[in-house]
Amino acid sequence: MGRGLQSILFDLDGTLTDPKEGITKSVEYALNKFDIQIEHLDELLPYIGPPLYDSFIELHQFSEEQAQQAVVFYRERYSTVGMLENMVIDGIPQLLEDLKNKGFSLYVATSKPTVFAEQILEHYKLDHYFEHIGGSNLDGTRSKKKDVIQYVLDQNAILPEEAVMIGDREHDIIGAIGCGVESIGVTFGYGPKEELENAGADHIAYRVEEIADIIQHISLRERCAK
C-alpha cells in the first residue's frame, strides 16, 4: 500500500514563471541569424514549453544541423539577457509555501537546461522550496519531458503513484502519463484547455489557487481508498 500523494513536480516555463519576453526575443534573435524576420513576437509563443531543438524543426522546418545551430544562437542571447526577462506568476510563492507547510516534497521537472532553471529559480528566490531541480542537459540530452520526469523520480526515489506532475503544455501531461504519474494541467500558462484535455490531463486548474484544492482532493481520495 502506497503512502498517498507525497511529491509534487512542477514544470517551470508557463507554470511557475512567465518567460514570454526572454524566450520569444531569444528565438527571434536566433531566427534573424538565418535571415528570418518576425512581424510580432506572439508568433513565437509555441516555442514556450517544448524542447527548443524540436521546435525549430517543427515550427520552422529547420534541418537537424540548422536546429542545432539555432539553439546555439538562441543561447547566445538567452544565457546573458533573456533568462531574466521573466516574471513569477502571481500566487506561485504562496502556493509553494502552503504546500511545503502541509508536508509535501516539491520538485521541478523542466525541458529547460538545468543550469538555466537553477539560475532563474535562485534569482526569483524560489529555489529553496524545491528538493531537486531537474532539467535537460546543455548537449540536448534528457530534453523530452518524460525523460526529465523519470530522472527526477529516479534521483529522488519517488514512486510514481505517490507523485503528481503540474504543467501547462501537452508535453507535461504526455510525459507524466509515460511515467505513470497523475497530472494537473494549468491553463494560466501557454497551453489551452483543449490541448491539455486532449493530452489526457487528469485535472485542469484555471487559476493558481485551484491547484491546492486539486491536490487536497487527490490526498483525500487516496485516504478514503485505504
For the chain, 226 residues long, give each residue's pLDDT as a single digit of tens: 468 999 999 999 999 999 999 999 999 999 999 999 999 999 999 999 889 999 999 999 999 999 999 999 999 999 999 999 999 999 999 999 999 999 999 999 999 999 999 999 999 999 999 999 999 999 989 999 999 999 999 999 999 999 999 999 999 999 999 999 999 999 999 999 999 999 999 999 999 999 999 999 999 876 676 5
11 is catalytic: yes
Which residues of the chain does CATH 3.40.50.1000 include?
Answer: 7-18+86-225
124 residue type, one letter: Y
Does the domain formed by 20-84 have CATH 1.10.150.240? Answer: yes
Buried b (16+ CB within 10 A) or exposed e, 87-104: ebbeebbebbeebbeeeb
Highest CATH level, class, for 7-18+86-225:
alpha beta
**Which residue out of 11, 13, 18, 168 is catalytically annotated?**
11
Q: Which of 214, 131, 140, 181 is nearest to 121 (CA)?
A: 131
- CATH 1.10.150.240 spans which residues of the chain? 20-84
